[in-house]
Amino acid sequence: MTPNILINDNMTVTYRAIEQDEFAMMAQLEQQCFGAHALPDFFFRQSYDCWPKGCFAAFQDQKMQAFVILAQSETQDIGWILSVAVSPELQGQGIGRKLLTQLLEQQSYARVRLTVDPENPAALRLYQSLGFSKIAEEADYFGPNQTRWVMEYSPNLSI
């Protein structure tokens, strides 16, 4: 990851791999972004244990402002983005886009997939602009009335 990126005239953000003492920051940011639908705190430690090379974050003044978790699927040529969180007060300023762009440029999977709520237009626009395409729609993905689109990015076709 590129260490420091100037987002605008007033904001420099550092992008780097997550360290072991930062799981609480991840859990807090996840809670801010997703509320009742947030992943449980222990998930962040387990993600790091399973996929340490897939846990990246964006920091501004030592505060975590965004993170992404990329996991390897059972078929080793497919990666799955399990969570993307951007601080609510900084959404729409390019931090998440840059974090995902760097991740996608550096990953080695033939394809990267994620799920998204089809009623989240900002997330859909972001993922589509990065080259993700809808490959499936699954009703009740996370339970009753929890429809999700499965989207896929292929490096040879995108960015």
Stronger pLDDT, 95 or 4, i.e. the higher one: 95
76, 50, 49, 65: which is closest to 16 by C-alpha? 65
DSSP code string of 7-62: EETTEEEEEEE--GGGHHHHHHHHHHHHGGGPPPHHHHHHHHHH-GGGEEEEEETT
pLDDT tens column, 48-98: 999 998 999 999 988 999 999 999 988 889 999 999 999 999 999 999 999
Question: pLDDT-derived band of residue 12, with 50, 70 and 90 as boundaries?
Answer: confident
pLDDT of residue 136: 96
pLDDT of residue 74: 86
Query: Which structural domain, as residue segments, surrounds residue 147?
Result: 4-157
pLDDT tens column, 95-140: 999 999 989 988 889 999 999 999 999 999 999 999 999 999 999 9
CATH, residue 21: 3.40.630.30
Q: Examine the pLDDT at 7 and tell me if it is beyond 60.
A: no
Stronger pLDDT, 47 or 8, i.e. the higher one: 47
Give the total number of structural domains in the chain: 1
Stronger pLDDT, 9 or 138, i.e. the higher one: 138
